[in-house]
Chain A
Amino acid sequence: MMGDLYRNQRAMRAMRQTAMQRGVIAVLDVGTSKIACLILVLDESLDPENDEGIGNLAGQEKFRVIGAATTRSRGVEFGEATVLRETERAIRTAVQAAQKMAQCRVDHVMACASGGRPRSYGLAGQVQVEREIVTESDVAHVLASCDIPDYGADREILHAQPVNFVLDHRSGLTDPRNQIGQRLACDMHMLTADRAPIGNLAHCVRRCDLELAGLAMSSYVSGISALVEDEQELGAACIDMGGGTTGISIFLKRHMIYADAVRLGGEHVTHDIAMGFKIPMNVAERIKTFHGGVVATGVDDRDMIEIDAESDRWDGERRAVSRAELIGIMRPRVEEILEAARERLDAAGFEHLPSRQIVLTGGASQVPGIDSLAARILGQQVRIGHPLRVRGLPQAVTGTAFSSAVGLSLLAAHPQDECWDFELPLDVRAARPLKRAVKWFRANW
């Protein structure tokens, strides 16, 4: 089981190395409502001085966005590709448009998935240090010693990140190598997701003649781009309100320590509007984005919205609803989403963190008034998080809906250590051949 995981993830890691050498990598955010594709040039020698006032922030000076494209997502429900042919077409559209803007061909792509019912596990492992000084092989040993729970046969490990190292009662080490100690322990955060959606996404990417160079959870990567450094250090939750799912990730000491997802999102709001007013989905989406809100005031009663503006009905009937009615439909659903997120945060023990900052991001967080509503449900420390400014990013792609795409490009430039980055210790790897050799000896002598 462990060996299989190592093979898959290491193959993707090797692909990412190749992409780094070529200097061009694409980033693909396959969401329920839209697919975003960014093309990055990775170059160590980019001059940070002369570029639109972006300083040396969070290591994002190493890359530059040269192509960006967004297209409407097709065949994706709850962040999972259900009609693969359609999803593949949408990916092709996005990739081709981004390539056209970049005037450059990409072969390697990092993708992020928002569906697949992510589940978090906290693992712990402990070994005796071989010699006095902790070496790389000790780190590999301690990571391998974490006993992996039975997470289900149809699930796949997306992330397995060492979060904390403990060396003889000294906790909070990020890099124990070359330190002196006897007993090395580690905490690892492991994130699993359903195998089928992940496999479908990989299949769609492969059908577009692209090599998958990495997979990430979208709630994780949007946390990377929407949280500022202090929030990541002191503890914060990022709620990525997408089209079909709402991802939740909790960060502490610059590591993700928990991730979850609620299968509710902005498309449900649209759906409610369409059902409530008996209008097509596209009209509902339109009036939601133009006139939507969650906090009604007195003036909204007199603010009438034409909802059949483009209708070609035979009797020429035109209907109008007040904005207060629209808010009356939207608000319960948004409250439901936020309450579901609240439940997940409570279940994760979010109230024990030193700082309880909550950052809302994602496309559905653009609803006016959501910050005051969220403050009522989630607590006072709520803000809307826009993604980090990244060199070369077009203005149209700087909204909250693109925080996971931007976060994925940050991850591509600065990958987080995963447990498969360390060589599997020899005794674990060699266990099976050695066993076979012993068996052979027993049988023959």
Chain B
Amino acid sequence: MRAMKDPAPSRLEYRMKRLMLRRSMRPFRRYGMPVIALATLAGLWAVDEGRRESTAALVAELRNEIGERPELVVRMMIVEGASPELAASIRESLSVEFPVSPFNLRLAELSEKVLALDAVAHASLQVRSRGVLVVEVDERVPVAVWRRDDGVALLDKTGYRVASVPSRASRPDLPLVAGPGADAAIPEAVQLFDVARPIRDRLRGFIRVGERRWDVVLDRGQAIKLPETQAVTAFKKVIELDVAQDLLERDISVVDFRNPQRPVLRLGQTAFGTIHDG
């Protein structure tokens, strides 16, 4: 008789088999072991550097081939929702060379570039069918002109800087604001500008004082000092007074409405003299 191998499992083998038969090991047997086996195979295959490189090259080549197919290649760009000047500056800032493979277009980067332009509030980029790159933008609309020491800028309704202009005269339709912190209170300034419609021809601008309240400056050196809160109501009262009693036509240099309960008028030089002489 030839010698037979001992059929009995060793103690360790027996214990391992029993461990594997535990109910809690069932997911491991079903998923864990195949995954480990496949990962080991892949790892053994990828040990050789040449194989790894050739695979990478193959993948890159395949990518290029697919990207250059006529159905997929991007040939033109359309800018929607922007004025012609803004569209031109968007094209300039993106500087995409067409035709281009869609794999080489990094839409996230491009959209950041578009958003970096001051006049753009929102931007979304899409590659649509027939190779068109569509840039949809929400343009910021300027509502005020802000004069500062270093130049004149346009602000939108949230106070965000839209563009620089050479002088205030380039946008005479917009109100002029000045003073530090004026950009933070643009909505109020726009409301005040609406209220000021009866005296629009005399209005020179709004000055933000101490980053808390507005002064309305008219021609002839007249100023209306408005309170911190409810400035619009106070300004309406002034306008009503002007419409009813020609308040601002008189020789008054300052209408001080900082305390609405107790408005103060400062007379002009002539009027002052007249009162004293009289």
Contact = CB atoms under 8 A, between A and B. Distances in A.
Interface of A: 71, 89-90, 92-93, 95-96, 99-100, 103-105, 208-209, 280, 282, 310
Nearest to A89: B8
Nearest to B19: A105
Contacts, number: 33
A208 B14 contact: yes
29 contacts: A71-B7, A89-B6, A89-B8, A92-B8, A92-B9, A92-B11, A92-B14, A93-B7, A93-B8, A93-B9, A95-B14, A96-B9, A96-B14, A96-B17, A96-B18, A99-B17, A99-B18, A100-B17, A103-B21, A104-B21, A105-B18, A105-B21, A105-B22, A105-B23, A208-B14, A209-B14, A209-B15, A209-B18, A310-B1
Contact of B21 (A99, A208, A310): A99
A103 B23 CA distance: 10
A325 B170 CA distance: 133
A224 B21 CA distance: 32
Contacts of A280: 1
Contacts of A208: 14
Given A90-B8, A96-B18, A209-B18, 8 more contacts: A89-B6, A92-B14, A96-B14, A100-B17, A105-B18, A209-B14, A209-B15, A282-B1
Contacts of A96: 9, 14, 17-18
Interface residues of B, number: 13
Nearest to B15: A209
Interface string B189-206: 000000000000000000
Interface string B2-44: 0000111101001101100111000000000000000000000
B104 to A, nearest CB: 54
Contacts of A310: 1
Contacts of B23: 105
B216 to A, nearest CB: 89
B102 to A, nearest CB: 52
Nearest to B25: A105
B18 to A, nearest CB: 5
B98 to A, nearest CB: 63
A104 B18 CA distance: 9
A93 B14 CA distance: 8
B12 to A, nearest CB: 11
A280 B1 CA distance: 10
A310 B1 CA distance: 8
Contacts of A90: 8
Nearest to B22: A105
A96 B20 CA distance: 12
Nearest to A93: B8
B21 to A, nearest CB: 4
A104 B7 CA distance: 21
Contacts of A92: 8-9, 11, 14
Nearest to A103: B21
A89 B1 CA distance: 22
A92 B8 CA distance: 7
Nearest to B17: A96
A274 to B, nearest CB: 14
Contacts of B11: 92
B263 to A, nearest CB: 92
Contacts of A93: 7-9
A114 B193 CA distance: 111
A282 B7 CA distance: 17
Nearest to B13: A96
A282 B1 CA distance: 10
A310 to B, nearest CB: 7
B20 to A, nearest CB: 9
B221 to A, nearest CB: 100
Contacts of B8: 89-90, 92-93
Q: Across the A-B interface, give the 4 residue pairs with the lowest CB-CB distance, nearest first.
A: A89-B8, A105-B21, A93-B8, A92-B14
Contacts of B7: 71, 93
B1 to A, nearest CB: 7
Contacts of B6: 89
Nearest to B20: A105
A105 to B, nearest CB: 4
A92 B17 CA distance: 11
Contacts of B18: 96, 99, 105, 209
A282 B2 CA distance: 13
A100 B17 CA distance: 9
A111 to B, nearest CB: 17
A93 B4 CA distance: 15
A105 B15 CA distance: 11
A209 B22 CA distance: 14
A407 to B, nearest CB: 26
A299 B21 CA distance: 54
A135 to B, nearest CB: 42
A356 to B, nearest CB: 44
A99 B22 CA distance: 11
Contacts of A209: 14-15, 18
Contacts of A105: 18, 21-23
A29 B3 CA distance: 27
Nearest to B18: A105
